[in-house]
C-alpha cells in the first residue's frame, strides 16, 4: 500500500507544483493521498463499507520547523523517535474526516511514520461505514506554523481522483462517494 501511495504522490508532485530557489527551505506545500477501497470483493462501498488508507508526505524542513514552533519539541525527525512520535500525533490531530450527512467523525488510526528522501511520511487508516455518501475532509497540518501553507489532498476511489486544496483558515471540504 505504501509503495502505491508513494508512487501516486510522486506523480502528483511532478505534475503539481514546482518551486524555485527562493523556496529552497520552506516549501509550504504538503501532499496527502487518500485511497478508498471496498472491504470485500465488491467495488461499491454501500454494500460492505470501505477501507480508508491515508498517506501524508511532508517536507522534512517544514515538518521540523512546525515541530519546534508549534510543539516546542526537539526537531530531529531523522533520528529522534520521540520527535517522530510527537509529529505523527500532531499530523493525525490536524487531519480529519467526518460523515457529512450524520456529522459523525470517521475514526482514523495512526499507523506511524517514516523518513524517505527529504520527506516525512505519516500513515493513517480507518473504516468507512457502508451508509456514508459524503465525507467532509479537514487538513490544517502545518497551517499553524506556516501561514502560507497549502495542503493538497488527492482522494482516489473507483479509479478516479479528486483533489481538495486547503489554504489559510480553510474550512472542511466535501467529497461525494456516490
Give the pLDDT confidence score for residue 49 in this predicted structure: 84
Give the H/E segment covering residue 79.
Answer: none
Which residues have a Cβ under 8 Å from the Cβ of 11 and sit 6 or more positions away? none
Answer positive or negative: Cα dihedral of 3, 51, 91, 94: positive
Give the pLDDT confidence score for residue 16 in this predicted structure: 38
Position 9 in a domain: yes
Position 19 in a domain: no
The whole domain housing 136 covers 2-13+26-176
- Per-residue pLDDT for the chain (178 aa), expressed as one digit of tens each? 555 445 444 444 433 333 333 334 467 999 999 999 986 655 677 777 899 999 999 999 999 999 998 888 778 999 899 999 999 999 999 999 999 999 999 999 999 999 999 999 999 999 999 889 999 999 999 999 998 999 999 999 988 999 999 998 789 999 998 7
Q: DSSP secondary structure string, 31-73?
A: EEEEEEEESSS-S-HHHH-EEEEEEEEEEHHHHHHHHHHHH--
pTM: 0.83
Give the H/E segment covering residue 141.
Answer: none
Give the pLDDT confidence score for residue 13 in this predicted structure: 42
How many Å apart are CA 149 and CA 170, to the nearest integer? 11
Position 6 in a domain: yes
Position 158 in a domain: yes
Position 37 in a domain: yes
Which residues have a Cβ under 8 Å from the Cβ of 60 and sit 6 or more positions away? 77, 78, 115, 118, 119, 120
Position 20 in a domain: no
Number of domains composing the chain:
1
Give the pLDDT confidence score for residue 168 in this predicted structure: 85
Position 78 in a domain: yes
Position 38 in a domain: yes
How many Å apart are CA 141 and CA 62, to the nearest integer? 11
Q: Which three cell numbers stand for residue 91?
A: 499530523
Amino acid at each position: 500500500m505504501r509503495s502505491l501511495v508513494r508512487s501516486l504522490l510522486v506523480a502528483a508532485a511532478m505534475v503539481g507544483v514546482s518551486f524555485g530557489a527562493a523556496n529552497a527551505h520552506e516549501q509550504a506545500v504538503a501532499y496527502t493521498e487518500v485511497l478508498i477501497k471496498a472491504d470485500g470483493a465488491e467495488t461499491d462501498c454501500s454494500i460492505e463499507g470501505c477501507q480508508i488508507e491515508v498517506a501524508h508526505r511532508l517536507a522534512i524542513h517544514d515538518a521540523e520547523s512546525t515541530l519546534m514552533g508549534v510543539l516546542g519539541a526537539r526537531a530531529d525527525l531523522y533520528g529522534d523517535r520521540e520527535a517522530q512520535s510527537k509529529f505523527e500525533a500532531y499530523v493525525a490531530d490536524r487531519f480529519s474526516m467526518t460523515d457529512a450527512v450524520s456529522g459523525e467523525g470517521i475514526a482514523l488510526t495512526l499507523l506511524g511514520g517514516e523518513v524517505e528522501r527529504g520527506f516525512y511520511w505519516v500513515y493513517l487508516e480507518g473504516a468507512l461505514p457502508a451508509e456514508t455518501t459524503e465525507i467532509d475532509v479537514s487538513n490544517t497540518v502545518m497551517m499553524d506554523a506556516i501561514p502560507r501553507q497549502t495542503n493538497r489532498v488527492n482522494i482516489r476511489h473507483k479509479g478516479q481522483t479528486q483533489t481538495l486544496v486547503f489554504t489559510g483558515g480553510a474550512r472542511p471540504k466535501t467529497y461525494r462517494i456516490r
